[in-house]
Structure 1
C-alpha cells in the first residue's frame, strides 16, 4: 500500500476529486493548509497598505491506495491539478505498513 500526499491549488480540488473518483479512488482526506515553496509568497495591498503574504493557501490530499494503483493516482493528480504556473504543488508517495478499518477490524487492502 502507498500513501500519496499531494498539495494542490484550492480551486483545483473539485476537479481533482472528480478525476480520482473516475479512476476508482474510494476515499481521501482533505486539509486546508498554508505553505510556500519556489514562489515564496508575494505582496498585496489591503486598504492602501502593502504587506507581505509569506504563506500561500493550499489544499493537502492524503490518499491510501494499493501499490499497483499508486502510479495511476499520481499521474491523475498531476495532470488534473496542473495549471503550468508556479505553485501548482507537490506529490509525495510513501509506503504504508498497515491499515485497519476501525468499524470492522479489516486490515490492509481490505480496509481501504
Structure 2
C-alpha cells in the first residue's frame, strides 16, 4: 500500500467487529459515521460492565493510537450519554462502536491503530 494510502473508517470498523466476534465477544455499531474518514470512538465493555470510552487519534509517528476520552465509567451512563451527545453535535460523522469482550481496548488498538 502506498505510504499515503489508508484504510477507510468503514473497513476498520468491519475488521474490528469480525475480530471481536471471532474471539467470542460482541461488537455492534451504535452510530454509523462517515464511511471514509469518520472519527472512531470505541465504548469498551467487559461482561456488560463499562470499561471506558476510547478515541482513535493520529500520533506523531504518522500512525494512530487509542486515547481514553469522555467521562470515567464511575461517573455513570448519564455522563457518558451527555458526552456522546456533545460529540455528535460537533462531529456528526463520527462512529461509535461498542465492544463487549475481555480486554476490549487491546482488540481495538491492535485492529484500528
TM-score of the alignment, normalized to the shorter chain, above 0.5: no
Specify the structure having the higher radius of gyration (Cα). Answer: 1
Larger proportion of helix: 2
TM-score (norm 2): 0.36
